[in-house]
């Protein structure tokens, strides 16, 4: 046997190893190119990467707040494409809404959340008070603080924004709602994660379920605020809070709660200036899920309790039925038996509700591809029967519809990328 | 350097190159995501028709605290399976640099997408009945089967997916 012959197996192995290494390295290199979305995405199925976000048209921030002023003009607050806070007023007539030019408000450079569930709010109070509240997102994800602009001259001028809550941690204080009770006390409620932050961790996760609802009060129309008060532990984290003023003059808050172990139903609490009341359970969909609906409820006072709308998934026989439901609540917030019904639209989302005497309006957005349709469910018998109406439709981006009420008058304010539509409800 | 050393180095190199795609699965050290792919109304149909299989897509939003947990359960299952799986994360409310910054919550994802366009329309292109609850997870099986879940899928569903 020659030396060449003797070394053949070793050389062959060496060659094989080198070839395999080169081959596999080439394959790995090809995989890296295949994985690089900036070079055409994931093979043929991914869209080519577009220019950086900086040169794109971003997601529109169309979340708005609206309210009737004491003189009957309709006001709205929102942010413009540059993210600046503005107010507009409209006189409503036969020809529809005639909006004034937008008036920019000085927020001291605060960024503002205006994405539907977390939007600026507008409230008129006693003695020329006008309040605009918004969440100022902070640099850390999912953190923010509740800010307030206050006017005491009917909205002609506003003071610089102030932070509403006493807690100043860089954590969640978001999804605020505010309103005056019959005695003129201002109540502000928000979703707060101070208890989650303080709770012991299990591994790297908090042992705390959900977030919490906090509130405070102001007896001078938002000039000063009392201490932060916990309303309830274990709320859902990113759904709006609905407020309604009962026949007794007290405000109620309705929010999506996380009942043990992970039931995402709703709870109601009475907001009193002088005392805390234990929350009660308001809905019984029994939707057990570790997920974020990002779909808060609506609440309106009835002659004997409240009208409520909410989204949930309810087991009906063998089927899980998702949808927006309407139901009546007792004055204490517990459900009135036999009143729950599904809205007649499986695409219904982000419904709002308003009521005046026996007249009840439920409005919602129904999307089908690029088309969003505004629908209304109207009752003249306090919610026993409803008639379905289609009020309009738009293409592309739009806000959720907002019901605005003053005495007998109810309108729907619906903003889209082109403008703001106002639909007067005729029962 | 003797022949044995060269041989050993060569063999090591060969093994490392062979093993790299396996180690790149979520089973091992997660790869960083350095880019975002647009997800518009036509993307889902393309993924279902021509995308990798098996695959899981986690639709999420930056405000969803439950989403990273659901993703982690899915990733752990894939890791244990020791099979190459496309593990896509689709952000519905962020794009560009903000989306990339948020990707740190999804270590082990193989690709990051971001919605581009009218959110309800894109959502309905994925599932007309998806009620905008996150995490929304779609599992595409090797055989083209599609399973959907709000929140983390049940163990039985996951097993069926990677059968």
A362 and A309 Cβ atoms separated by less than 8 Å:
yes
> Is 90 exceeded by the pLDDT of residue A184?
yes
Query: For chain B, what is the domain count?
Result: 1
Q: Which of A68-77, A357-366, B88-97 has the lowest mean pLDDT?
A: B88-97
* CATH number reported for the structural domain that contains residue B153 in this entry: 3.40.30.10
A279 and A291 Cβ atoms separated by less than 8 Å:
no
Q: pLDDT tens for residues B45-89? A: 999 999 999 999 999 998 898 999 999 999 999 999 999 999 999
> Average pLDDT, whole number, for chain A?
88
A205 and B69 Cβ atoms separated by less than 8 Å:
yes
Helices and strands counted in chain B (H then E):
6, 6
Of A333, A332, A351, A355, which is closest to residue A341 (Cα–Cα)? Answer: A351
pLDDT at A24: 39
Pair type for strands B136-140 and B55-60: antiparallel
- Partner residue facing A21 (CB), from B17, B40, B135: B17
Of A137, A123, A135, which is closest to residue A181 (Cα–Cα)? Answer: A123
Name the pTM for this structure: 0.84
Mean pLDDT of B123-150: 94
Set of chain A residues whose Cβ sits within 8 Å of the Cβ of B76: none
pLDDT at A95: 82
- For CA atoms B24, B26, B31, B35, give the dihedral sign: positive
Nearest chain A residue to B34, by CA: A36
A33 confidence band (pLDDT: 50, 70, 90): very low
A160 confidence band (pLDDT: 50, 70, 90): very high
Architecture of the structural domain at A63-235: 6 Propeller (2.120)
- Within 10 A of A202 (CB to CB), how many other CB atoms are there? 8
Set of chain A residues whose Cβ sits within 8 Å of the Cβ of B96: 52-54, 56
Burial of residue B53, with CB atoms counted within 10 A of its CB: 0-12 exposed, 13-18 middle, 19 or more buried: middle
> Is 60 exceeded by the pLDDT of residue A21?
no
Q: Which helix (H) or strand (E) holds A176?
A: strand A173-180
Distance in angstroms (rounded) separating the CA atoms of residues A414 and A61: 13
Distances (CA, A) of A61 to A82, A399, A415, B17, B65: 9, 8, 10, 48, 22
> Cβ–Cβ of B118/A397 closer than 8 Å?
yes
Range of the domain at B129: 3-161
Distance from CA of A360 to the nearest CA of B (A): 25
Half-sphere exposure of A78 (CA within 13 A, CB side): 28
pLDDT at A23: 40
Distance in angstroms (rounded) separating the CA atoms of residues A212 and A206: 14
Distance from CA of A30 to the nearest CA of B (A): 11
Set of chain A residues whose Cβ sits within 8 Å of the Cβ of B65: 142, 237-238, 292
> Cβ–Cβ of B7/A13 closer than 8 Å?
yes
Of A117, A172, A91, A74, which is closest to residue A404 (Cα–Cα)? Answer: A74
Burial of residue B82, with CB atoms counted within 10 A of its CB: 0-12 exposed, 13-18 middle, 19 or more buried: exposed
Instruction: Determine contact: B84 vs chain A, CB below 8 A.
Output: no
> Cβ–Cβ of B134/A292 closer than 8 Å?
yes
Distance from CA of A151 to the nearest CA of B (A): 32
Nearest chain B residue to A366, by CA: B120
A43 confidence band (pLDDT: 50, 70, 90): very low
Q: pLDDT tens for residues A260-308? A: 999 999 999 999 987 778 999 999 999 999 999 999 999 999 999 999 9
Q: pLDDT tens for residues A322-373? A: 999 999 999 999 999 999 999 999 999 999 999 999 999 999 999 999 999 9
Distance in angstroms (rounded) separating the CA atoms of residues A210 and A207: 9
- ipTM reported for the complex surpasses 0.90: no
> Residue A148: phi, psi to the nearest 5?
-140, 130
Three-class secondary structure of residue A193 per DSSP: coil
Instruction: Determine contact: B131 vs chain A, CB below 8 A.
Output: yes
Instruction: Determine contact: A45 vs chain B, CB below 8 A.
Output: yes
Instruction: Determine contact: A30 vs chain B, CB below 8 A.
Output: no
Of B87, B150, B148, B89, which is closest to residue B114 (Cα–Cα)? Answer: B89
pLDDT at A96: 85
> Is 90 exceeded by the pLDDT of residue A52?
no
Mean pLDDT of B14-38: 54
Q: pLDDT tens for residues A91-129? A: 998 888 899 999 999 999 999 999 879 999 999 999 999
> Residue B104: phi, psi to the nearest 5?
-65, -20
DSSP class per residue in A320-363:
EEEEEEEEEE-TTSPBPTT--EE-S-TTEEEEEEEEETTEEEEE
Set of chain B residues whose Cβ sits within 8 Å of the Cβ of A313: 131, 150
pLDDT at B12: 52
pLDDT at A57: 58
Instruction: Determine contact: B126 vs chain A, CB below 8 A.
Output: no
């Amino acid at each position: 046997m020659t030396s060449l012959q003797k070394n053949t197996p070793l050389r062959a192995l060496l060659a094989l190893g080198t070839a395999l290494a080169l081959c596999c390295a080439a394959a790995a290199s090809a995989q890296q190119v295949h994985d690089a979305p900036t070079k055409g995405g994931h093979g043929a199925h991914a869209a080519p990467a577009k220019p950086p976000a900086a040169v794109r048209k971003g997601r529109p921030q169309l979340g708005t707040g609206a309210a009737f002023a004491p003189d009957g003009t309709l006001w709205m607050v929102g942010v413009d494409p540059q993210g600046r806070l503005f107010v507009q007023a409209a006189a409503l007539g036969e020809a529809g809404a005639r909006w004034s030019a937008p008036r920019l408000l000085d927020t001291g450079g605060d960024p503002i959340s205006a994405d539907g569930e977390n939007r600026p709010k507008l409230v008129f109070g006693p003695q020329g008070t006008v309040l605009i509240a918004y969440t100022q997102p902070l640099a850390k994800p999912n953190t923010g603080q509740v800010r307030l602009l206050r006017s005491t001259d009917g909205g002609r001028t506003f003071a610089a924004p102030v932070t509403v809550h006493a807690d100043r941690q860089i954590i969640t204080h978001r999804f605020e709602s505010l309103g005056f009770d019959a005695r003129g006390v201002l109540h502000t409620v928000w979703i707060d994660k101070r208890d989650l932050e303080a709770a012991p961790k299990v591994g790297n996760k908090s042992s705390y379920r959900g977030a919490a609802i906090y509130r405070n009060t102001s007896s001078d129309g938002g000039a000063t605020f009392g201490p932060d008060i916990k309303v309830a532990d274990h709320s859902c984290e990113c759904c709006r809070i609905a407020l309604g003023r009962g026949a007794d003059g007290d405000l109620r808050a309705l929010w999506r709660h996380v009942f043990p172990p992970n039931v995402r139903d709703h709870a109601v609490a009475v907001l009193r200036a002088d005392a805390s009341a234990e929350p009660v359970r308001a809905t019984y969909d029994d939707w057990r899920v570790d997920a974020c609906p990002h779909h808060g409820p609506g609440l309106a006072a009835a002659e004997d309790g409240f009208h409520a709308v909410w989204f949930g998934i309810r087991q009906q026989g063998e089927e899980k039925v998702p949808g927006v439901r309407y139901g009546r609540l007792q004055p204490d917030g517990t459900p009135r038996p036999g009143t729950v019904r599904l809205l007649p639209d499986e695409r219904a989302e982000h419904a709002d509700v308003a009521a005046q005497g026996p007249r009840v309006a439920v409005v919602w957005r129904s999307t089908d591809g690029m088309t969003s349709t505004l629908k209304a469910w109207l009752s003249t018998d306090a919610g026993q029967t409803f008639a379905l109406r289609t009020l309009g439709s738009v293409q592309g981006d739009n806000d959720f519809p907002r019901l605005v009420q003053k005495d007998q008058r109810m309108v729907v304010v619906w903003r889209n990328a082109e403008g703001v539509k106002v639909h007067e409800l005729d029962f | 350097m003797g022949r044995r050393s060269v041989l050993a180095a060569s063999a090591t190199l060969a093994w490392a190159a062979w093993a790299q795609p396996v180690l790149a699965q979520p089973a091992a050290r997660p790869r960083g995501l350095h880019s975002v792919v647009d997800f518009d109304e036509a993307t889902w149909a393309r993924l279902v028709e021509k995308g990798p299989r098996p695959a899981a897509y986690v639709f999420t939003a930056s405000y969803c605290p439950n989403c990273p947990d659901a993703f982690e359960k899915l990733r752990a299952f894939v890791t244990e399976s020791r099979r190459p799986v496309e593990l896509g994360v689709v952000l519905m409310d962020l794009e560009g640099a903000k989306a990339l910054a948020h990707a740190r919550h999804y270590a082990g994802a193989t690709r990051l997408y971001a919605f581009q366009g009218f959110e309800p329309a894109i959502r309905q292109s994925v599932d007309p009945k998806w009620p905008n609850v996150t995490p929304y997870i779609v599992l595409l099986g090797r055989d083209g089967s599609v399973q959907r879940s709000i929140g983390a899928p049940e163990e039985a569903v996951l097993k069926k997916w990677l059968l």
